[in-house]
A and B are shown apart, each in its own frame.
Chain A
Amino acid sequence: MANYSVSNLGAATPAQANLTTSYNTLIETHAVTTPRRLAWYEFEFGIDANPGNTDCSISWDISRTTGAGTAGSAATPNPLDPADGAAATVAGINHPNGTPPTYTASSNLWSLGVNQRASYRWIARDDKSALWVPATSNAGLGIRAKQASGAYASTAVATVYFQEQ
């Protein structure tokens, strides 16, 4: 069991997309050829630009995906232990608006509206409490955000830590 991290800044030139009034995917993880069970056991996010002048909230969501969509960049998951090999899981980051992963309807595992100036972190106590993905091709999880009023229309950063089994 190896642990990995992936961030939407984890590419040579991460082309972050601005948040809009519809969901914008920051990170999506899935496996294709040799799927293994994977579990998100920690994630964190926040904005990384000047807040909008009008106070507003940003809606964040984690849902299940069945297709990768067209990512802005591919990100190689970073093994937390350098002795571990490369992940079987593929990560896509910064999906441009309009090319999101295929989200399963009503599959959100977690969603939260927080102030634009807030950041959030979640940690599972153990592997039983993590967010699991079955070892099937293209099954995955994605974290996405939107800003309903348009008052904040800039970029955000998210990092996900996951374990492969």
Chain B
Amino acid sequence: MRNANGYGVIIGPGGVVEEIDTFTCCHCNGIVHVHAGMKPDELGSWCTLCGQMHCAKLTCRTCFPFEKRMERAEAVYRAKKS
């Protein structure tokens, strides 16, 4: 995967090493493993608004950037605290 967002490595029995590229969903912040040969629609899709990959969850097909989710949670927290 070009420009992978992350890197995972499984060191299995007998020292077998499996390296995996990952990306982080721009909508839910979940990690997706990208195995060689995976079909693109198994991974998710490209969000043209965020300019990043999102995962294949149904709820992530609608653009709601994770940054905005955090800002909303923090605004609610500040409002309740004040």
Contact = CB atoms under 8 A, between A and B. Distances in A.
What is the size category of the interface that chain B forms with chain A? 20 to 34
Contact of B5 (A35, A121, A128, A136): A128
Interface residues of A, number: 30
Contact of B23 (A112, A129, A131, A135): A129
A46 B69 CA distance: 32
Contact of B66 (A119, A123, A132): A132
Interface in B12-37: 12-13, 22-24, 28-31, 33
A125 B4 contact: yes
Contacts, number: 79
Is chain B's interface secondary structure helix, strand, loop, or mixed overall? Answer: mixed
B12 A114 contact: yes
Nearest to A139: B73
Contact of B13 (A118, A120, A128): A118
15 contacts: A114-B12, A115-B12, A118-B12, A119-B11, A122-B6, A122-B8, A122-B22, A128-B5, A129-B23, A130-B24, A134-B69, A134-B71, A134-B73, A135-B70, A139-B73
With most chain B CB atoms within 10 A of its CB, the pick from A37, A108, A122, A132 is A122
A134 B5 contact: no
A129 B5 contact: yes
A123 B30 contact: no
